[in-house]
Amino acid sequence: MEMIKKGAEAEIYITEWKGRKIVIKRRIKKGYRIKELDEKIREQRTKKEALLMMSARKAGMSVPIIYDLHINNKEIFMQYIDGERIKDVIDGMEEEMQRKICEEIGKSIASLHKNGIIHGDITTSNMIWMNDRLYFIDFGLGMKSRENEDRGVDLHLLMEAFKAAHKNKNLFKWVFEAYKKNFEESKEVIKKVDEIARRGRYMRGVA
């Protein structure tokens, strides 16, 4: 078993399981929490993430297949998506391909929000392109919500990620256009994105 990522909340491993290559996501113990509370929190978050991924799949999203849950170890056994992170490849693509991927991103986020799912960490690091298909990974900060504030935070996070990490200024515009086309409530969400952006500018101004 090989660890490929260690974050604040979880460790990610690649291993073989029942003849297939898989990813195991294991939630890390937190020594500063009371042991019983820590067990409960990690168990709840493991279950919640698995349920969100299954809900996203039911909504037509491409996400890793969940093979098993080991609640005692706070582990999710899931499909290994052997593709390329959007963060690593989109800048080197032709504009036509960039647009195609951004439209897929917008359509996918619309599908999530339509079904009351907030990803919670939408960045191009958590999207993988494999076999001409866009996969979303890492729902660890996600939740169920139909609040436009939560939807707006999702989109605002992606907007900031595009600004910080990618060259083509049209990328997020194409995401937005596809989102609007595929989600009837998008007008109110976009108002929220503008509000959140203004709040951020105000806070930076105060600081």
Q: Are residues 116 and 165 in the same domain?
A: yes
Tokens of 34: 């009371």
- Predicted confidence (pLDDT) per residue in 57-71, tens digit: 999 999 999 999 999
What is the reported pLDDT for 8?
85
When pLDDT is averaged across residues 107-135 and rounded to a whole number, the result is 96
Q: Are residues 50 and 107 in the same domain?
A: no
What is the reported pLDDT for 202?
47
What is the reported pLDDT for 207?
45
Q: Are residues 44 and 113 in the same domain?
A: no
Q: Give the separation between CA 25 and CA 180, rounded to whole angstroms.
A: 33
pLDDT at 172 over 70: yes
When pLDDT is averaged across residues 131-141 and rounded to a whole number, the result is 95
Q: Where are the beta strands (DSSP E) in the chain?
A: 2-6, 10-17, 20-27, 66-70, 75-79, 84-85, 117-118, 127-130, 133-136, 143-144
The residues pairing with 135 across neighbouring beta strands, listed in sequence order, are 128
When pLDDT is averaged across residues 23-47 and rounded to a whole number, the result is 94
Q: Are residues 52 and 98 in the same domain?
A: no
Is 38 considered catalytic here?
no
Residue among 68, 121, 132, 154 flagged as catalytic? 121
The more confident residue out of 201 and 132 is: 132
Q: What is the mean pLDDT of the chain?
A: 92
Q: How many domains does the chain have?
A: 2
Q: Are residues 180 and 127 in the same domain?
A: yes
What are the residues whose beta carbons fall under 8 Å from the beta carbon of 59, sequence distance 6 or more? 111, 112, 114, 115, 117
- Give the domain CATH number at 187: 1.10.510.10
What is the reported pLDDT for 200?
60
Query: Cβ(165)–Cβ(124) under 8 Å?
Result: yes
pLDDT at 149 over 70: yes
State the residue range of the domain holding 38. Answer: 2-79
Q: Are residues 92 and 193 in the same domain?
A: yes
When pLDDT is averaged across residues 85-100 and rounded to a whole number, the result is 95
- What percent of the chain shows pLDDT beyond 70? 96
Q: Are residues 72 and 143 in the same domain?
A: no
